[in-house]
Amino acid sequence: MLKLSAENKDQLTRIATPNMTNEKRQAYWRRNLRYLFILLFIWFLVSYVFGIFLVEPLNQIRLGGFKLGFWFAQQGSIYVFVVLIFVYVRWMNKLDKEFDVDEI
Amino acid sequence: MSVLTWTIILVSITFALYIGIAIWSRAGSTKDFYVAGGGVSPLANGMATAADWMSAASFISMAGLISFMGYDGGVYLMGWTGGYVLLALLLAPYLRKFGKFTVPDFIGDRYYSNVARTVAVICAVIVSFTYVAGQMRGVGVVFSRFLEVDINTGVYIGMALVFVYAVLGGMKGITYTQVAQYCVLIFAYMVPAFFISMIMTGNIIPQFGFGDTINDGSGMYLLDKLDQLHTDLGFAEYTSGSKSMIDVFAITFALMVGTAGLPHVIVRFFTVPKVSDARKSAGYALLFIAVLYTMAPAIAAFARTNLINTVSEQPYAEMPQWFTSWEETELIKFNDKNGDGIIQYVANPEANELTIDADIMVLANPEIANLPNWVIALVAAGGLAAALSTAAGLLLVISAAISHDLIKKQINPDISDKAELWWARGGAVFAVIVAGYFGINPPGFVAATVALAFGLAASSFFPAIILGIFDKRMNREGAVAGMVVGILLMLFYMVKYKLQGFGGGTPDDWWLGISPEGFGTVAMVFNLVVAVVVSRMTAAPPEDVQELVEDIRIPQGAGDASAH
């Protein structure tokens, strides 16, 4: 396996994105992954857990004319999906600014 | 005015609009042709993606399917929207940063291998062709029912139209016609939905009417009423469904991951100027899709209630006009088994006298609810917009696979931009002709495989792209082995249980009780595992590729989409 020294690597990455050190780069990526984890957890919860695995017990609860589990499977999960993407857009735009990697 | 006159007027106006836009936005370079010059605004791209994505199946078939599946129909609703979350969070921004023209481009460069590129091209072409054939057929069906022409003539007209704007305009022409098509199709979907919701529940917003009380004086909630009708006739409760939980899970997951892996959807995110625009336009796309997808289950429940109330235990002689006109197309069949002249529509197949094709529910819905003629015509125009926009997006993927991934990248790298553009147009012509051929002579397997196109995309592209971004250690050997294992396993399961090859089998023999529609999930897991194991046993990818991965993770400096 080919391995470059740490400075070498840093030099190479600096060519790609000039104002970023390796540590900063790692920090940015970790924050990104944390956001993904949180959002995908909710994504899984509303669709698979509420809409499929727990649909029977949730159907005992009513939301107006809907059984709650059924509502999650056919309405609720979709609304949450839309919100999730816009939250992601917001968080990432902020993160990009904070790390000074946003595009002009 | 009659339905026919209205349909001719509306269809002509919308077609003239699409052609006008195509002429105004025709492509001058390969960059225009593949990625619309890379300058599409996120909002326009969101709309175009929504139209690109919502096919004849979403517009015409989905609400009908749900109305016969009840709760189980949620697999389509969640599966075909949840995929956008994956697309927005895990794929779109990074692929935009990568900044090339096609999905095989990414696979080929990330895995530094023309073998990987070729495998990706083959997967893209298989997925796109199975899908596009169904669209052309959809165009033919709408034409034959509403304009009273032969199905084949309908397919020819559709081919001619797609030919004009896909071949001439490329991605640029397609993008702006798709924006117009989204407006047409969503308007055509909303108008009858509002009418029916108003009539049935007194609530004009279908998403709320869905959970409101029904307007028949009983004061019952619509869904409770529907459950009761179902139970009385011996069907499973509408809100409960009948598929096993593991199968519902597997199908939903395969559809989500398949959506995120469809090349004609992914490529749309190459057309926006910046990484942040790619994220935002995925949000807009899902928002625009959600408008239709949250309305569809409401329409399904309304249509189901309406249908049962209209036909069940009613004399055949008193059926309304729409019943007879759909009977002529053989999409409704009545067989008076006990000879009493009354329609028995029940779950028990021995006693049931009525069969209804799920496809007609959306198209017949305005007639069932006695809506004005112009609304019925509008639905026809909307169905055409949905089918044509998707067909065009798919044709472009096929054409780019030929001219860019095969000719430019492998056969003749020195080809001039102008010559490549001609190849791209030629590829589009070829794709239109093949698609038209399948539309006119639909092989029996097309209907069965359209849903499976998602399984194929899930089992081939999705893991290769995800690992390419999130696993720096993933190498050529791993990715190729994974894709090959994934798609072959999926094809094997499809052929075995859908086409009865390799000894065939019944639902009792399904692995873990998972249907072929849901098997993409299993095949995808195999792909992932094989890819990871093989990559850890072989050499790490070269330094410049690892750098490429580092680079696509940071939004800055995306620049234009380029051919190098």
Question: What does the pLDDT look like over B262-284, one tens digit per residue?
Answer: 888 888 888 888 889 999 999 99
Which residues does residue B213 pair with via DSSP β-bridges, in sequence order? B221
Q: For residue B564, is it within any domain?
A: no
Question: How far, in Å, CA of B196 to CA of B516, rounded?
Answer: 35
pLDDT reported for residue B165? 76
Site of tokens 């009977």: B327
Report the amino acid identity of residue B299. I
pLDDT band at B366 (very low <50, low <70, confident <90, very high): confident
pLDDT reported for residue B307? 86
pLDDT over threshold 90, residue B466: yes
Which of B148-157, B287-296, B413-422: highest mean pLDDT? B287-296
Which of chain B's residues have a Cβ under 8 Å away from the Cβ of A77? Answer: 77-78, 81-82
pLDDT reported for residue B444? 58
Higher pLDDT, B26 or B464: B464
pLDDT over threshold 90, residue B294: yes
pLDDT reported for residue A11? 42
Question: Cβ–Cβ of B88/A85 closer than 8 Å?
Answer: yes
pLDDT in tens, B219-260: 788 888 888 888 888 888 888 877 888 989 999 999 999 888
- Maximum distance among all alpha carbons in chain A? 64
pLDDT over threshold 60, residue A16: no
Quick one: which of A11, A31, A25, A10 has its CA closest to A101? A25
Question: How far, in Å, CA of B355 to CA of B349, rounded?
Answer: 10
Quick one: which of B560, B555, B487 has its CA closest to B121? B487
Which residues does residue B333 pair with via DSSP β-bridges, in sequence order? B355
pLDDT over threshold 80, residue B372: yes
Mean pLDDT across B493-503:
80
Question: How far, in Å, CA of B285 to CA of A18, rounded?
Answer: 33
pLDDT reported for residue B131? 80
Quick one: which of B88, B83, B206 has its CA closest to B458? B83
Which of A39-48, A50-59, B422-431: highest mean pLDDT? A39-48
Helix (H) or strand (E) holding B51, with range, is: helix B42-53
Question: Cβ–Cβ of A74/B286 closer than 8 Å?
Answer: no
Report the amino acid identity of residue B363. L
pLDDT band at B522 (very low <50, low <70, confident <90, very high): very high
pLDDT band at A6 (very low <50, low <70, confident <90, very high): very low
Question: How far, in Å, CA of B454 to CA of B272, rounded?
Answer: 25
Which of chain A's residues have a Cβ under 8 Å away from the Cβ of B89? Answer: 36, 39-40, 85, 88
- On the 0-12 / 13-18 / 19+ scale of CB atoms within 10 A, B232 is exposed
Give the chain A residue nearest B206 (alpha carbons).
Answer: A75
pLDDT reported for residue B558? 58
Site of tokens 């589990």: A69
Quick one: which of B49, B89, B261, B521 has its CA closest to A43? B89
pLDDT band at B564 (very low <50, low <70, confident <90, very high): very low
Which of B70-84, B139-153, B357-371: highest mean pLDDT? B70-84
Domain map (residue ranges) of chain A: 23-98
**Using an 8 Å Cβ cutoff, are B158 and B391 in contact?**
yes
Instruction: Return contacts of A35-39, CB within 8 angstroms, 24+ apart.
Output: A35/A88, A35/A91, A35/A92, A35/A95, A36/B89, A36/B90, A39/A84, A39/A87, A39/A88, A39/B85, A39/B89
**Using an 8 Å Cβ cutoff, are B153 and B164 in contact?**
no
Q: What ipTM does this complex have?
A: 0.89
β-pairing, B354-356 with B332-334? antiparallel
Interface mutation target, options A81, A84, A87, chain B, most CBs of B under 10 Å: A81
- Out of A8-12, B283-287, B319-323, least confident range: A8-12
Question: Cβ–Cβ of B221/A75 closer than 8 Å?
Answer: no
Q: How far is A50 from chain B (nearest CA, A)?
A: 12
- Out of A59-73, B28-42, B275-289, least confident range: B28-42
pLDDT reported for residue B167? 79
Which residues does residue B199 pair with via DSSP β-bridges, in sequence order? none
Helices A77-98 & B275-311 angle (0-180, nearest 10):
180
Question: How far, in Å, CA of B451 to CA of B441, rounded?
Answer: 19
Nearest to B294 among A32, A51, A75 (CB): A75
Q: How far is A94 from chain B (nearest CA, A)?
A: 11
Interior angle at CA B357, CA B84 and CA B326, nearest 5: 125
pLDDT in tens, B99-139: 777 888 899 999 998 888 888 888 888 888 878 877 777 77
Q: What is the percentage of chain B residues whose pLDDT exceeds 90?
A: 22
Interior angle at CA A55, CA A52 and CA A61, nearest 5: 155
Residue B315, C-beta contacts closer than 8 angstroms, at least 6 positions apart? B341, B342, B343
Which of chain A's residues have a Cβ under 8 Å away from the Cβ of B223? Answer: 65-67, 70
CA distances from B118 to B114, B401, B405, B411, B545 (A): 6, 9, 8, 12, 19
Q: Which domain holds residue B290?
A: 3-552
CA B74 to chain centre: 15
Average pLDDT value for chain A: 82
Q: For residue B52, is it within any domain?
A: yes
Nearest to A102 among B253, B276, B297 (CB): B276
**Using an 8 Å Cβ cutoff, are B39 and B169 in contact?**
no
pLDDT reported for residue A8? 45
B487 token code pair: 């798609």
Split into its structural domains, chain B has a count of: 1
Query: CA quadruple B250, B251, B256, B262: dihedral positive or negative?
Result: positive
Average pLDDT value for chain B: 85
Q: For residue B144, is it within any domain?
A: yes
B4 C-beta neighbours (distance < 10 Å), count: 15
Q: How far is A49 from chain B (nearest CA, A)?
A: 10
Mean pLDDT across B441-446:
63
Q: How far is B417 from chain A (nearest CA, A)?
A: 27
pLDDT over threshold 90, residue B445: no
Mean pLDDT across A25-36:
93
- CATH number of the domain to which B527 belongs: 1.20.1730.10
Q: How far is B548 from chain A (nearest CA, A)?
A: 9
CA atoms in the 13 A half-sphere facing the CB of B360: 21
Mean pLDDT across A6-10:
43
